[in-house]
Amino acid sequence: MTDREQILNTIAANKPRTIPSIVIPKFKRKTSENLIELFKQMVIYVGGRFIITNSKDIFQIIEEQYPKVETIYSCVTEISSKGVMPEKISKPHELNSVDLAVMEGTFGVAENGAIWVTEKQMCHRVLPFIAEHLVILLDRQSIVVDMHGAYDRINLSQVSYGTFISGPSKTADIEQVLVMGAQGARSHTVILTEN
C-alpha cells in the first residue's frame, strides 16, 4: 500500500460523520466609512508611507521620496527605470542590486493596509522582496473593506502567484523590538493615484 492509500484509507475510516458546509456570514458595515482614510491609517500603522496625488508625474513624486536611490526597476509603463535595464535581466539574482522597485497593485484592503499584487504586476516574483525599497501604485477607486471583499475580487485559479503586501519587511524576533527591513524591502510607499 502506498503512503497515499494508507493516509486516505485511515482518514476514511476515522473521519466523523459529514458536517454540512457553512455560508460565511455577511458582516454589517457602516455606510459612512471613508475607505481611503481607513486604508491610509492602516498603511501608516503597518509601517508604510502613504501619498495621495492627482499629479500625473509620479516619477517626480518617487524621486522626492527617494532622492538617494541609484537604481529603479519600474514595472509600470508610464514610469521609466533608472540605472537598470529590465529587458536585460536574465536571472532573478541580478535584481539584488535594485534600490527601488515600482509596481502597480490590483486593489487595497482598508482593514489591514494590504495590497494585492500579482505575478504580472511585479515583473519578477522576487522583485518586491529583493529590492531595498518598494513603491506600489494604486487607483484610489480600488479599495475594498476587508478580506472577504478581497477574495470576492480575486479569481485565485487564474493567478499563478500573487501576494498581499502590508508594509515593509519587518521582524520583532529580538526581544520584541520591531525592526523594519528584515529580509525584504526596508521601506514601503503606497501612492494612491487618480485614473
- Where in 119-148 is the site for another protein (CB under 8 A)? 124-126, 128-130, 146-148
Query: Using the 8-state DSSP alphabet, how is residue 145 labeled?
Result: S
Look up residue 24 and give its three cell numbers: 460565511
Which of 57/94 has CB closer to another protein? 94
Q: Confirm or reject binding of residue 16 to another protein (CB under 8 A).
A: yes
Q: Confirm or reject binding of residue 103 to another protein (CB under 8 A).
A: no
* Single-letter residue type at 176: Q
Look up residue 132 and give its three cell numbers: 531595498
Q: Confirm or reject binding of residue 17 to another protein (CB under 8 A).
A: yes
Q: Confirm or reject binding of residue 34 to another protein (CB under 8 A).
A: no
Match 458536517 to its residue by C-alpha cell. Answer: 19
Q: Confirm or reject binding of residue 61 to another protein (CB under 8 A).
A: no
Pick from 49, 59, 76, 164 the residue near another protein by CB under 8 A: 164
Sequence-separated (6 or more) residues with CB below 8 Å from residue 176: none
Whether 47 contacts 40, CB under 8 Å: no
Give the rounded distance of the alpha carbon of 105 from its chain centre: 7
The stretch among 63-71, 74-82, 99-107, 174-182 that binds another protein (CB under 8 A) is 174-182
Pick from 34, 56, 80, 92 the residue near another protein by CB under 8 A: 92
Minimal distance in Å, beta carbon 182 to another protein? Answer: 4
What's the rounded Cα separation, in Å, for the pair 24 and 21? 10
